[in-house]
Structure 1
Amino acid sequence: MSNSAKLFSFLFIFFLGLGIFLAVSAQEASPVEEAVNLDEDIQPEDLGVSEPKLLPDSPFYFLKNWARGIQNVLTFNPIRKAELRMKFANEKLMEVKKIVQKTQDPEKIKKATENYQQEVEKIKNQVEKIKEKAKENPQVESFLDKFLHQQTLHEKLLEKLETQVPSQAFEKIKEAREAHLERFQSVMLKLEDRPEKITEKLDKILEEQKGSQFKEFKNLEVLKNLEEKVPEEAKEAIRKAEEKITENLQENLEKMSPENQEKFKEYMEKISGDKERQLEIMEKIKSESSELKENLEKVKERIKEKIKEKKGEPVACAQVITYCIDPSTGECAVYPDACSTPKPCQSCLVEMSPGTGCKNLWWFDNEHKYCQQKEFCGLYMYLGLRTFETKEECETGLQK
């Protein structure tokens, strides 16, 4: 066989193997995991920068900073300087992400995070030199729009990184995220002092950002975090943006198929972020649909369980027999309480033998303040549960 034929055979096998590997890799991520990654796993291209090659743990990293310094010195326009600083911050955040993927060494992670924090501070300092507001200069407005877009992405990625770093580096990432929010709101309010414009810009930017069909929830979380940091006079502008996004999320959930509503429940299981804040957001989502209402209640229950788990509190399990498909066998199985059911539970029916005492009843409890029907079997009572023979009796009991 000639050398060219050997080369051709090698390349054919290589690319065939690569194609198979990529296909298998693509299949490994579930649709829900893909949705979570789309909303949290921010990529360099999302921030307009390239994949970092030289990282802070390299002995040659100083060359990269040296080149950045030259660029900064040769840039004279204050707005262009602010844009350059923002680009450097984007690059350094991607370096943090790459370091976290590369190593679990807390010192290396802390060093990369410190670099990022310093750059975010430099953005704020540079913006202080811009004397005009967005309404007075189109260049300032353009910078602000880009800033708002990119900083919301920073917040999403920083929350994700908090779940990926070792415990020794967690506080540093958290500190960086808190400091980032402070600088975020400071720059925003320095360049735009009209509340209605802040609302308008946040609405538009978050709506246009790429993301999954559930992206509004993550956007709400970002706004909630930002609202906590802004001064009192700016909170209303953030709240108005939250209200609109909440309405959009609620409307989208109501339009979703039952299958996608189930995916939303799983999505909520997998996303990063502060669970108490997520519960606060969930409490504001309302629905007239009994099916969606039930799904939302289940999501809230699971968030509450996670909050208790984080605090080290025992999780109360409702003693209600539930029928779900066993993921390991694919067969319908009986689960004795809410904690033992697979998440999510794919409901199923089993034929009960006579004398098991199973009965279809209407019910509500302390966590589910609306009437719904299900089959109860065995010793199903728990604190706060009330059951009724008819829907009318249940609704009467609910009003008392």
Structure 2
Amino acid sequence: MKILKSIILSICLLFAFGIVSAEETSNGAQAVALDENVTAQDLGVQEPTVLPDSPFYFFKNLGREIQSALTFNPIRKAELREKFANEKLIELKKVSEKTRNPQAVEKATENYQKELARAKDAAEKIKDTTEQNPEVGTFLDKFIQQSTLHERILEKLETQVSTTTLAKIQEVRAQHLEKFGEVMNRLETNKEELQERLENNLEKVQGSEFKDFKNLEMLKALEGKVPEAAKEAIQQAQENALKRLKGDLESMSSENQTKFQDYIEQINGKKERQLEILDSLKTELQSNAPAIQKLLQTREKMIEQVKDEAETEACPQIAKPASTFCPNGRIIIKKDEKGCIAAFNCVIPAETNVTPGGTQACVALWDPVCGQDGKTYSNACFAKLAGTAIAHDDACKSLETGNSPQIREQIKSLVPKLTP
């Protein structure tokens, strides 16, 4: 009988431990997995059995080229080249998982890079736009969804490859973003339609309840690569993604807000860009003190991550700001000519002192401008609301150090608002 009781007790303990472990795993990690892990099936291709390091890979590529040569319709050819790019990216992913050999990974990277160029050339041969031909719209929809998945794979690869091949992956990722922006801009010439198409297709891509955070990061990176004509559409898509993320956070339970904290801390990506998004989100959540407090806690951990990353790149150590640093402003990372962190500066945008009712027409995305009044605004929209012309893009020079009389006065005026 005692043995039976012991067995039952052991089973109960194991069951309880399993529930706790599952809860811990699901606390952010599952959401991260949904937004980072991409399979061959997600890209509509088969798992590769012959990889670039195989002696038979030549025949695989030969078959692809024959298939392309026998395809004459420009849209079908562009679709085929996109399929080959999908296949070669999955091959690169498999090679990097299979071996740590830098030469093998670099060869697979070059295969993918060349295919990106061919896919871009094929897309440029499509003469129609989405307005002229519905098939172009169908191609572009699929292209946006799959390009988003490419970004996820490439971003994760940056954390997995050796330092010798990291630069090559980063180069390919930049090339992919350029292709992404140029093809969209070429095939969809209407800015409003481009914005709507981009948002609709990002929504269709599988992901977690927090995927708007990652979408914001990708859109910010894409903004710097697209032609000038497409930037307004990208910025508007960013604004809408930030609004959705704000709405989601406001309606979240405290438990899910904690899960979001874990998600941000674990998700791959450029931490400086994520820090910028976090500050934008904090600004948007002006009246939600509990949510802001959680974001400030997350920001403190993210600064530690940014600091650690910099110090692994042979940069000198730099002190981390205190936890009470810049609660009502934005933390701007200033770097020296070597790319090392020189300082963590606090910039208080000029609109911070404006009553909320006057800023509702603008979204707090960080695209700073310096007004002719000598004040830094988060973006051109806020400067326009303040009735000031823009002197130049970027923050006013006097505010970059965080030590000017203006910023000291702004900080002094905000003391009653500071979050403890």
Residue 302 in structure 1 maps to residue 290 in structure 2: no
The match for 1:137 is: 133
**Hey, what's the Cα distance between the residues in 2 that align with 1:29 and 1:98?**
29
The answer on whether the counterparts of 1:221 and 1:278 sit within 8 Å (CA) in structure 2 is yes
Supply the AA of the counterpart residue of 1:367: C
The match for 2:52 is: 56
Residue 151 in structure 1 maps to residue 131 in structure 2: no
CA-to-aligned-CA distance 1:202-223 (integer Å, 9 cap, x gap): 1101112211111110111111
The partner residue of 1:175 within 154, 159, 171 is: 171
Residue 114 in structure 1 maps to residue 110 in structure 2: yes
Offset of 1:316 from its aligned partner?
A: 2.7
Supply the AA of the counterpart residue of 2:325: N
CA RMSD of aligned residues (A): 2.4
**Hey, what's the Cα distance between the residues in 2 that align with 1:317 and 1:62?**
54
Residue 102 in structure 1 maps to residue 98 in structure 2: yes
**Hey, what's the Cα distance between the residues in 2 that align with 1:397 and 1:254?**
25
Offset of 1:169 from its aligned partner?
A: 0.9
Offset of 1:253 from its aligned partner?
A: 1.3
The match for 1:81 is: 77
The partner residue of 2:217 within 215, 221, 224 is: 221
The match for 1:351 is: none
**Normalising by the residue count of structure 2, what TM-score does the alignment of the two structures yield?**
0.70
In structure 2, the CA distance between the partners of 1:37 and 1:56, relative to structure 1 (3 Å rule), is same
**Hey, what's the Cα distance between the residues in 1 that align with 2:144 and 2:278?**
25
Q: Quick check: which has more Rg, 1 or 2? A: 1
Residue 311 in structure 1 maps to residue 333 in structure 2: no
Offset of 1:82 from its aligned partner?
A: 0.3
Supply the AA of the counterpart residue of 1:270: Q
The match for 1:123 is: 119
The match for 1:347 is: none
Offset of 1:368 from its aligned partner?
A: 2.3
Offset of 1:308 from its aligned partner?
A: 1.7
Supply the AA of the counterpart residue of 2:416: L
**Hey, what's the Cα distance between the residues in 1 that align with 2:159 and 2:24?**
18
CA-to-aligned-CA distance 1:69-123 (integer Å, 9 cap, x gap): 1211221111000000000000000011111111111111111011001111101
CA-to-aligned-CA distance 1:39-91 (integer Å, 9 cap, x gap): 01111111111111111111111121111112112211110000000000000
Offset of 1:196 from its aligned partner?
A: 0.6
Supply the AA of the counterpart residue of 1:219: N
The answer on whether the counterparts of 1:72 and 1:84 sit within 8 Å (CA) in structure 2 is yes
Residue 91 in structure 1 maps to residue 95 in structure 2: no
Residue 367 in structure 1 maps to residue 337 in structure 2: no
The match for 2:251 is: 255
The match for 2:240 is: 244
Supply the AA of the counterpart residue of 1:247: K
Aligned-partner SS, 2:160: coil
**Normalising by the residue count of structure 1, what TM-score does the alignment of the two structures yield?**
0.73
Offset of 1:292 from its aligned partner?
A: 0.6
**Hey, what's the Cα distance between the residues in 2 that align with 1:85 and 1:108?**
23
**Hey, what's the Cα distance between the residues in 2 that align with 1:115 and 1:396?**
55
Offset of 1:314 from its aligned partner?
A: 3.2
The match for 1:30 is: 25
The answer on whether the counterparts of 2:92 and 2:109 sit within 8 Å (CA) in structure 1 is yes
Identical-pair percentage: 49
The match for 1:330 is: none
Aligned-partner SS, 1:53: coil
Report the number of matched residues.
Answer: 310
**Hey, what's the Cα distance between the residues in 2 that align with 1:200 and 1:81?**
26
